[in-house]
């Protein structure tokens, strides 16, 4: 009570409080006007009146703060602004849910556009205030960079620059000369729609996808300054697809290159953060693996949310771990920002909310002996850090998704209250409340007892995680080399969202590891096994590299468990975020191996870098330009890793047909629409073609569409449509009757082939 009296004893505070109430009242009128509910006091209001009142009150608030301020102190000014507008903003968050103009006037349109912008600025100011307040704590942000780098550091940067150049060089090869699955949804619809809605001020329409894929629109959208996608759109008419008049390769390049270049640039950020966390040697090896990975490079050449998710999600994890190590606030903010960007890319990134919360307890268990504070203080600080991270992730999401400006529910539904967390968040909230009660009333005695008890078994936890990982890898190899004896991984991955009934929990979980162990270079896999078996043995203390590898291993297992529980098998694309994390674990293993005294004598550090680069270049050159179809040499040739390809081979098939003398008058059917994009003649991709009503010169089929086409054809035939063309029979045509065939990566079961219509029997 005394604090309240002291607060209002100041004339400035009293005046600002009155203005706060008036602003709140005006926001209340705004809410009634927006919801078309009418004023409860029968006061005639319209947009002009509300807008003018806001303007006058804001001028008076600014004048009051300026009058009573003896000197300019930005922090105090921001505090006063936030408190003064707090009531108004709370009401605005409700009223902005409905952003439809009820009248066609300038002030109405101005209110619709300006009010959400003020809300964004308000929350940015809160973020600024958090940064300023935490600056006064022990931490003080990132230290100044010493530009007088040692000779070793300059050489390392030179290697990273070489990886950057190699990444771009391989990525630019045939960048525009391919047709990728689902890209048309982004190039012709979602990306232009996002920017058109921004320019029109239609904030509520900027949620362009359920992914939501906003970062794709932001980065790839840079290409819209050069081209208009409408000029390159194929024309569909009665099942026929006609290629555009303009060369679509120009559009492909302009919209794909920004993503490729962005990911290449972010390799330097990977290097900086990994170096801070794990040292220079591990950072260099990690970036070589990440920058020259065929799968990561392949997805970076496709306009898709996964092409950016693999960058933002690991960077958030690295930033947070660097914060835990360095105790420097700036890294915590960046962890939140990268997390917000990851969620804006794809909602699956919400799993980091669980992982970061789990890290609070893992850090205590495995670093308990190094803590200089009580359990209660540690948990209090960690929970505050966790909430700050959540705030900056929400702020990033809120600022970059204008649709959330008009509906706060879109912000919550996309992040902490997403569908995937509906069952988890009550448990989270209960645990947090329990910890707070324990800290406040019992000084953390209960949590201290629980965590201290668990920490006694940290050796067991360490061994268990390592064994689960190793056993899963070994079981995957055994099942694969025994001819998929126990579980058909290929069948599961061919239908990742509907194969739970046949594959079961263990089948789906094993298929996840199948995509991992055969999706990275053999050298990387061997180094992971080495680290788990030799260096990550149980002992009292573990160093930062081993703890990081442990945390990353737990994350991979958590990710696989979550996908399996949701009855989805993690194909290469669905688990693209796992590969950079696995590469960092592999880099730790190689770094530890190179630290062995006997190894140092025979394998110099820079020789190891050169070997890894050469092996990576070999893999990239062997599979180019079909990087996303890469499979390790350890995978038997009869198997395919990425059964859900992204349209590889479509361009090559179309170009082969285009070289035929009568290409423009030919009519073909293809199971990939991408072939139709580049083919000069008439093309169809419709399943519902009848024997009597349709005639084709060639059929173009691929292994990646075999399961889909077969299921759709058989379902229609079983439904009574006996006159339709049995497209499922095309995939069993022997090679001797094939007009042209492309075997991607030298694997006969990963094909695109052309079949002459008059040489096959269509039953």
Residue 759: the pLDDT is: 63
Q: What is the pLDDT of residues 606-640, one digit of tens each?
A: 899 999 999 999 999 999 999 999 999 999 999 99
- Residue 263 is inside which H or E element, if any? helix 248-278
Neighbours of 3 (CB within 10 A): 6
Say which residue, 737 or 235, is predicted with more confidence: 737
Q: Which residues are bridge partners to 755 per DSSP? A: 699
Confidence class of residue 420 from pLDDT cuts 50, 70 and 90?
Answer: low
Residue 570: the pLDDT is: 84
Neighbours of 686 (CB within 10 A): 12
pTM of the entire structure? Answer: 0.89
Say which residue, 702 or 110, is predicted with more confidence: 702
Say which residue, 148 or 741, is predicted with more confidence: 741
Residue 142: the pLDDT is: 43
Which residues, 6 or more positions from 288, have their beta carbon under 8 angstroms from its beta carbon? Answer: 159, 163, 609, 612, 613, 616
Residue 208: the pLDDT is: 87
**The dihedral sign for the CA sequence 336, 570, 172, 672:** negative
Q: What are the residue boundaries of the structural domains of the chain, listed by start?
A: 2-135, 255-629, 650-759
**What residue has token string 């001028």?**
59
> Is 90 exceeded by the pLDDT of residue 694?
no
Instruction: Tell me which of 108-112, 360-364, 661-665 is least confident.
Output: 108-112
The answer to whether residues 355 and 390 touch, using CB atoms and an 8 Å cutoff, is no
Phi-psi region at 373: left, alpha or beta (left = phi > 0; alpha = psi -120 to 50): beta
The answer to whether residues 690 and 724 touch, using CB atoms and an 8 Å cutoff, is yes
Instruction: Tell me which of 338-342, 365-369, 392-396 is least confident.
Output: 365-369
Q: What is the pLDDT of residues 110-165, one digit of tens each?
A: 555 666 777 888 888 888 888 888 875 554 344 444 444 566 678 889 999 999 99
**What residue has token string 């771990």?**
321
622 CA to centre of own chain: 28
The answer to whether residues 596 and 712 touch, using CB atoms and an 8 Å cutoff, is no
Residue 103: the pLDDT is: 47
User: How far is residue 139 from each of residues 124, 129, 270, 380, 708, measured CA to CA in Å?
Assistant: 21, 15, 23, 16, 55
What is the residue-averaged pLDDT of the chain? 84
> Is 70 exceeded by the pLDDT of residue 342?
yes
Residue 8: the pLDDT is: 58
Q: What is the pLDDT of residues 504-535, one digit of tens each?
A: 888 888 889 999 999 999 999 999 999 988 76
Percent above pLDDT 70 for the chain:
86
Q: What is the pLDDT of residues 464-473, one digit of tens each?
A: 898 999 999 9
Residue 346: the pLDDT is: 92
- Per DSSP, helices labelled H in 301-328 are 306-326
Q: Using only C-alpha atoms, what is the Rg of the chain?
A: 29
Question: CA–CA separation, 510 vs 560, rounded Å?
Answer: 9
Question: CA–CA separation, 640 vs 237, rounded Å?
Answer: 35
Residue 397: the pLDDT is: 93
Residue 147: the pLDDT is: 46
Q: Which residues are bridge partners to 751 per DSSP? A: 743
Residue 673: the pLDDT is: 84
> Is 60 exceeded by the pLDDT of residue 447?
yes
Residue 99: the pLDDT is: 47
Token pair for residue 545? 């590299």
Burial 516-544 (b: 16+ CB within 10 A, else e): bbbbbbebbbebbbbbbeebbeeeeebee
Question: CA–CA separation, 102 vs 70, rounded Å?
Answer: 44
Q: Output the DSSP codes for 598-623.
A: HHHHHS-HHHHHHHHHHHHHHHHHHH
Q: What is the pLDDT of residues 302-330, one digit of tens each?
A: 999 999 999 999 999 999 999 999 888 99
Residue 653: the pLDDT is: 92
The answer to whether residues 752 and 657 touch, using CB atoms and an 8 Å cutoff, is no
Question: CA–CA separation, 548 vs 545, rounded Å?
Answer: 5
**The dihedral sign for the CA sequence 110, 113, 114, 116:** positive
């Amino acid at each position: 009570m005394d604090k309240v009296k002291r607060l209002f004893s100041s004339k400035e505070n009293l005046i600002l409080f009155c203005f706060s109430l008036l602003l709140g009242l005006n926001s209340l009128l705004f809410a009634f006007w927006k919801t078309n509910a009418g004023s409860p006091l029968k006061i005639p209001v319209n947009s002009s009146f509300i807008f003018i009142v806001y303007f006058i009150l804001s001028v008076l608030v600014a004048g009051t703060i300026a009058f009573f301020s003896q000197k300019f102190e930005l922090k105090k000014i921001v505090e006063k602004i936030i408190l003064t507008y707090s009531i108004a903003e709370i009401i605005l968050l409700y009223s902005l849910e409905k952003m439809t103009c009820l009248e066609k006037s300038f002030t109405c349109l101005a209110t619709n556009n300006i009010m959400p912008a003020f809300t964004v600025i308000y929350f940015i100011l809160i973020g600024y205030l958090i940064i300023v307040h935490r600056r006064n704590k022990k931490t003080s942000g990132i230290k100044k960079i010493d530009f007088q780098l040692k000779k070793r550091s300059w050489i390392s940067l030179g290697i990273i620059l070489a990886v950057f150049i190699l990444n771009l060089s391989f990525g630019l090869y045939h960048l525009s000369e391919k047709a990728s699955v689902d890209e048309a949804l982004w190039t012709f619809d979602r990306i232009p729609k996002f920017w058109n809605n921004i320019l029109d001020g239609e904030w509520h329409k900027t949620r362009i996808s359920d992914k939501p894929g906003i970062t794709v629109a932001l980065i790839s959208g840079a290409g819209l300054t050069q081209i208009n996608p409408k000029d390159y759109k194929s024309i569909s008419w009665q099942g026929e697809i006609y290629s555009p008049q303009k060369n679509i390769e120009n559009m492909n390049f302009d919209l794909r290159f920004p993503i490729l270049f962005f990911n290449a640039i972010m390799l330097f950020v990977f290097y900086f953060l990994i170096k801070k966390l794990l040292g220079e040697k591990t950072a260099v090896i990690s970036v070589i693996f990440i920058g020259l990975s065929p799968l990561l490079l392949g997805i970076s050449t496709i306009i898709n949310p996964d092409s950016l998710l693999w960058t933002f999600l690991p960077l958030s994890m690295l930033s947070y771990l660097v914060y835990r190590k360095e105790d420097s606030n700036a890294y915590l903010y960046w962890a939140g920002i990268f997390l917000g960007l990851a969620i804006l890319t794809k909602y699956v990134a919400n799993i980091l909310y669980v992982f970061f919360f789990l890290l609070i307890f893992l850090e205590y268990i495995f670093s308990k002996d190094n803590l200089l504070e009580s359990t209660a203080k540690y948990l209090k600080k960690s929970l505050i850090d966790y909430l700050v991270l959540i705030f900056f992730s929400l702020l990033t999401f809120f600022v970059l998704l204008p649709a959330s400006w008009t509906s706060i529910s879109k912000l919550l539904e996309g992040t902490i209250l997403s569908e995937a967390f509906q069952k988890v968040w009550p448990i989270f909230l209960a645990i947090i409340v329990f910890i707070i009660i324990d800290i406040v009333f019992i000084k953390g005695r209960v949590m201290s007892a629980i965590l201290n008890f668990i920490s006694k078994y940290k050796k067991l936890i360490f061994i268990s995680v390592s064994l689960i990982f190793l056993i899963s890898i070994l079981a995957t190899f055994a099942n694969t080399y025994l001819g998929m004896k126990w579980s058909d991984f290929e069948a599961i991955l061919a239908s990742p969202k509907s194969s739970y009934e046949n594959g079961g929990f263990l089948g789906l979980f094993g298929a996840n590891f199948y995509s991992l162990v055969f999706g990275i270079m053999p050298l990387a896999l061997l180094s992971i096994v080495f680290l788990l078996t030799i260096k990550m043995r149980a002992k009292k203390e573990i160093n930062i590299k081993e703890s990081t590898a442990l945390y990353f291993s737990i994350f991979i297992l958590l990710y696989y468990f979550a996908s399996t529980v949701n009855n989805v098998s993690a194909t290469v694309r669905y688990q693209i975020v796992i590969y950079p994390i696995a590469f960092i674990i592999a880099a730790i293993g190689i770094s530890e191996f190179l630290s062995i005294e006997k190894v140092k004598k025979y394998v110099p550090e820079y020789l190891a870098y050169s070997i890894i680069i050469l092996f990576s270049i070999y893999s990239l050159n062997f599979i180019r330009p079909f990087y996303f179809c890469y499979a390790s040499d350890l995978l038997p040739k009869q198997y395919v890793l990425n059964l859900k390809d992204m349209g590889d081979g479509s361009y090559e098939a179309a170009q082969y047909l285009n070289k035929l003398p009568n290409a423009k008058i030919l009519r073909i059917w293809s199971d990939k629409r991408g072939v139709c994009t580049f083919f000069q003649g008439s093309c169809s991709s419709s399943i519902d073609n009848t024997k009597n009503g349709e005639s084709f010169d060639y059929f173009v089929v691929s292994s990646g569409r075999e399961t889909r086409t077969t299921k759709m054809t058989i379902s229609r035939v079983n439904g009574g449509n006996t006159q339709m063309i049995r497209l499922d029979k095309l995939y069993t045509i022997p090679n001797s009757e094939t007009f042209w065939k492309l075997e991607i990566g030298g694997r006969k079961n990963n094909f695109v082939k052309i079949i002459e219509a008059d040489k096959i029997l269509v039953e």
